[in-house]
Amino acid sequence: MDSRSVAPVEKNQEVTVEIFGLSHDGEGVGRAEGFTLFVQGALPGETVRAKVMKVKKQYGYAKLLEIQVPSAERTEAPCPIYKQCGGCQLQHMTYEAQLVHKRQQVVDSLERIGKLQVAGFVTKKDERAGDVVDAAAVDVNVQTESNEQGSGEANVRTENNDYGSGEAGIIVHPTLGMQDPWRYRNKAQVPFGMEEGGLVGGFYAQGSHRIVDMEACLIQHEQNDDVVRQVKEIGRSLGVRAYDETSGSGLLRHVVVKYGFATGEVMVVLVTNGDRIPRVDEWIEGIRAAVPGVQSICQNVNTARTNVIFGGVTRVLWGRDVIHDTIGDVKFAISARSFYQVNPVQTEVLYGKALQYAALSGRETVIDAYCGIGTITLFLAQHAKHVYGVEIVPEAIDDARGNSLLNGITNATFAVGKAEEVIPAWKQQGIAADVVVVDPPRKGCDAVLLDTLLAMRPERIVYVSCNPATLARDLRVLADGGYIVAEVTPVDMFPHTVHVECVALLVRQD
């Protein structure tokens, strides 16, 4: 039988859809005639009219036409270019609801992918009373309240260190959100193009390669918006031509701005299609005059026909090759190419949670796998006997070593390589960690690394994850290998987007 004939709806048909869920991409998930449809812009609990755009075997996509019954969680997206841009997906949802949704996504992954048991939601009040409240029964206000209490509940459990045999299930805390969830990004990466009026810089219109000019991005620090605007004006006055990806001609591809929230230092990187920048001195003078905090102006050359932003060569046009920022009391040097968390306010919350879960006394040997420029490593080093960091990118390890010197930290050792190769070698050399922190990319930990951890048997494993699905998969392996998944705390690193970050604590069962 032709599967198409099975679908009860067809392309271009207008249907009424009852929305009951939210997809990982932030689309409303609902049903029309019993058929599953994804509707961008619709929220759970809503009834909407939508036009079917695409029908697949099991599900389809529909375009939102009208909201017939709106959700109480709906709010007006404040950004004027919200729909065109696509960089944020959840601005039409209240921030409190976003936090609840992100926690739920973690719970769903743990249960469905990890086949792990999640404990009922315990609020402070109910904990005292010994009651367990089901997550679904907790309203938004309660979650926000516990949010403000921060890590209260986690402290109770961590201090007592009493996770029993883990049978009570994993405690998934409320998402730790931001007090002011706007203007949080410290890095802007803005593509440039040409329109009839001249140079434009902004974003790729959703699903296309057309660059739309942008004056302001509400999740970007104002300073970065300002710098991009100034650089655009200077470029226009100098008659700079933007790169054209179809013909491969033109000079300016991207402007990247980095801002140190704690120091006010600014780095501007001009990504160019070629070595030579005509009138480069005027560029530099213009930027220095317009951007008071600028400490570094760099050029990165990228002549490849690719949508990857950076090319292989970076040179300093003026000033230093790094800017600085601090998280907690650790100072970091950030170069044009090095990875640095984009939300410094929440990074402190995230690392604070990782540190709390690591529960260090100063006597421990710690391994930080996937350590990047050593941010978590140096945070941990202040509270441990010795920390070993491993990372695959050599330049990041150079930065990590530089950052230890910068902070006078002498009890951190760094190695370049794959975590799944270096850590087994360390084990062979007799390095036994009491605590291991992992912070892998989206694809999660390598199976060999998980096996090594199970053989090394650290007392605690702290898993920092940017992908609840691979987190759940890996936690299953560690749980089967004799660890109790005690707690998970989602931390909102990217308000108004669908991204979910979390920290999990595993304790050895013995």
Residue 156 or residue 447: which is nearer to ligand SAH going by CB? Answer: 447
**Contact residues: ligand SAH, CB under 6 A:** 339, 341, 370-372, 375-376, 390-393, 396, 418-420, 439-441, 446
Residue 25 annotated as lining a ligand binding site:
no
Residue 138, classed as helix, strand or coil, is coil
**Smallest gap, in angstroms, from Cβ of residue 412 to ligand SAH?**
13
Residue 5 or residue 429: which is nearer to ligand SAH going by CB? Answer: 429
Residue 341 annotated as lining a ligand binding site:
yes
Residue 98 or residue 341: which is nearer to ligand SAH going by CB? Answer: 341
How far is residue 110's CA from residue 488's CA, in Å, rounded to a whole number? 10
Residue 260 CA neighbour count, 13 Å, CB half: 22
**Smallest gap, in angstroms, from Cβ of residue 414 to ligand SAH?**
11
Cross-strand partners of 508: 483
Residue 7 or residue 415: which is nearer to ligand SAH going by CB? Answer: 415
**Smallest gap, in angstroms, from Cβ of residue 448 to ligand SAH?**
10
Residue 171 or residue 456: which is nearer to ligand SAH going by CB? Answer: 456
Q: Where does residue 451 rank: exposed (0-12), middle (13-18), buried (19+ CB within 10 A)? A: middle
Cross-strand partners of 335: 322
How far is residue 267's CA from residue 470's CA, in Å, rounded to a whole number? 34
**Smallest gap, in angstroms, from Cβ of residue 94 to ligand SAH?**
29
Inter-helix orientation angle 447-456/419-428, to 10°: 30
Angstrom distances, CA of residue 403 to CA of 58, 384, 392, 409, 419: 51, 17, 17, 8, 20
**Smallest gap, in angstroms, from Cβ of residue 300 to ligand SAH?**
18
Residue 376 or residue 503: which is nearer to ligand SAH going by CB? Answer: 376
Tell me if residue 445 is catalytic: no
Residue 370 annotated as lining a ligand binding site:
yes
How far is residue 398's CA from residue 410's CA, in Å, rounded to a whole number? 15
Residue 196 annotated as lining a ligand binding site:
no
Nearest to 471 by CA among 144, 187, 111: 111
Quick one: three-class SS letters along 261-317? Answer: CCCCCEEEEEEECCCCCCCHHHHHHHHHHHCCCEEEEEEEECCCCCCCCCCCEEEEE
How far is residue 497's CA from residue 501's CA, in Å, rounded to a whole number? 11
Active-site residue, from 85, 445, 466, 502? 466
**Smallest gap, in angstroms, from Cβ of residue 400 to ligand SAH?**
9
How far is residue 120's CA from residue 140's CA, in Å, rounded to a whole number? 16
Kindly list the catalytic residues: 466
- Binding site: which residues? 341, 370, 391, 439
- Binding site for S-adenosyl-L-methionine: which residues? 341, 370, 391, 439
